[in-house]
Amino acid sequence: MTRVLLIEDDPAVRRGVELGLRRSGHETEAVATGEDGLESLAPFAPDIVLLDLMLPGMSGLEVCRRIRETSQLPIVILSARDDDIDVVVGLEAGADDYIIKPASGEVIEARMRSVLRRVAPAQPDADAPGQLLVHGDLEINGVSMRVHKRGQELTLAPSELKLLLFLSAFPGRTYSRQQLLEQVWEHSYYADARLVDACVKRLRAKIEDDQRNPRYVQTVRGFGYRFGPL
């Protein structure tokens, strides 16, 4: 059973989403403010957070940032704000996905499953080119799902880790944003290309020495990304 923490201030939306989640078999705690959401983290111990941006008092962005300070708990933003800047800021704050309201229960369920699959324990794959990958001073273990740089373990959010695992499996191969959406995020909405760019930016901040001249996650202008060194 998945434990879902829903942080949504609109009573009608909160009740509707909560009922849908419970019907799908999820144990759900629904609160109306960011402060209450943060207080619920330890006692409720959710598997995933559904987070509205427009909250009274502490904003959803601030809640997201505070969660990311201490946890890599999957976060999906659920918001009526669909401006590019709002989406990008939400993703760069550490969210793993972004759902525009109103959204059906089926869409919310599908996107939650996609995010949760990214944090599921990896199963060894006999056909994979290698489960332990070493690239320069970066060591990527696809079995333990741990990444080290110069011997120090890095803390990556679920989307960042899966993106890194996918790109690093075949260094030098270029993938379009659309391909990455389908392989990493498991959906292919065109507007969601922002998911890829925001995730790359966060990942580079953690693994690159110089984000302006990345060694590992490299941009192929006009197309997408590849993993180096070549």
Mean pLDDT, residues 40-48 taken together: 95
Between CA 117 and CA 114 the distance in angstroms is 5
* Secondary structure (3-state) at 125: coil
- To the question of pTM greater than 0.85 for the whole model, the response is no
Can you read off the two tokens belonging to residue 191? 């507007």
The 10s digit of each residue's pLDDT in 126-168 is: 444 457 788 888 999 877 888 999 999 998 888 888 899 999 9
Contact 72, 46 (CB under 8 A): no
Question: Do 3-118 and 132-227 agree at the fold level?
Answer: no
Q: Is 186 left (phi over 0), alpha (psi -120 to 50) or beta?
A: left
The 10s digit of each residue's pLDDT in 7-39 is: 999 999 999 999 999 999 999 999 999 999 999
Can you give the pLDDT at residue 82? Answer: 66
Can you read off the two tokens belonging to residue 99? 């759902």
Question: In angstroms, what is the C-alpha Rg of the chain?
Answer: 18
Statement: residue 97 has pLDDT above 80: yes
140 has which bridge partners? 133, 147
CATH number of 132-227: 1.10.10.10
Query: For the chain, which residues make up each domain, given as ranges?
Result: 3-118, 132-227
Can you give the pLDDT at residue 129? Answer: 46
Instruction: Give the CATH number of domain 3-118; options: 3.40.50.620, 3.40.47.10, 3.90.1150.10, 3.40.50.2300.
Output: 3.40.50.2300
